Amino acid sequence: MSDFAVYSEDAAKVVKLMRAYLLSVKAEYVVLCHRDGSVVAEAGSFNGDAMPLAVLSTASFDSASQIGAMLGGEKFQAVSYIGESRAVYISPVDASLILIQIFSGRLPNRIEDYNRMLIDKLLDAVPSFTQNTSSLVR
C-alpha cells in the first residue's frame, strides 16, 4: 500500500466531480486509483472489487507505456478496450494516479476531450495530487 492520503474534504470534492462527469458522459463506473491499486475515489456501480480492477488497469497502462518506449519513445495518453457490451478507458491523472472509466457499449465520441476536462478539474480541486511523493509501482 502507498502512503498516499486524501483528506475527507478533498475526497468529497473528487467524488462530486466524478459523479457529475459520470452522468454527463453516461459512464457506468469511474474510479480514481493510486498506481499501487489503492482506490482513492469512485462513482457509479461496478459489480466487483475495485482493487483488482485498479491493479490490472495500472499494469495495462504501464504495459502500453513500455510498448511506446519500444516504438521510439511514443507517449501513449490512454489505453482503451472495447468488448461486446462494455468499453474501458484508462488514463493517467499524474505520475501516481490513474483514472478508469467503464461504459456500457462503446466509448463516447470525444472521450479524450471529456477525460482531459475531468482530469483538469480534479487537479484544480485537489492540487496536492500533483505534489504527491509516495512510492510508485513501475
pLDDT one-digit tens code per residue, 80-134: 999 999 999 999 998 889 999 999 999 999 999 999 999 999 998 887 776 644 4
Residue 3: Cβ-neighbour burial (10 angstroms; 0-12, 13-18, 19+): exposed
Each residue of 55-88: pLDDT tens digit? Answer: 999 999 999 989 999 999 888 889 999 999 999 9
Closest C-alpha to 44, from 32, 60, 57, 27? 27
* Res 85: pLDDT: 95
3-state secondary structure of 99: strand
Per-domain boundaries in the chain:
8-131
Pick the CATH number of 8-131 from 3.10.20.30, 3.30.460.10, 3.40.50.300, 3.30.450.30: 3.30.450.30
Spatial separation of the C-alpha atoms in residues 41 and 27, rounded to whole Å? 15
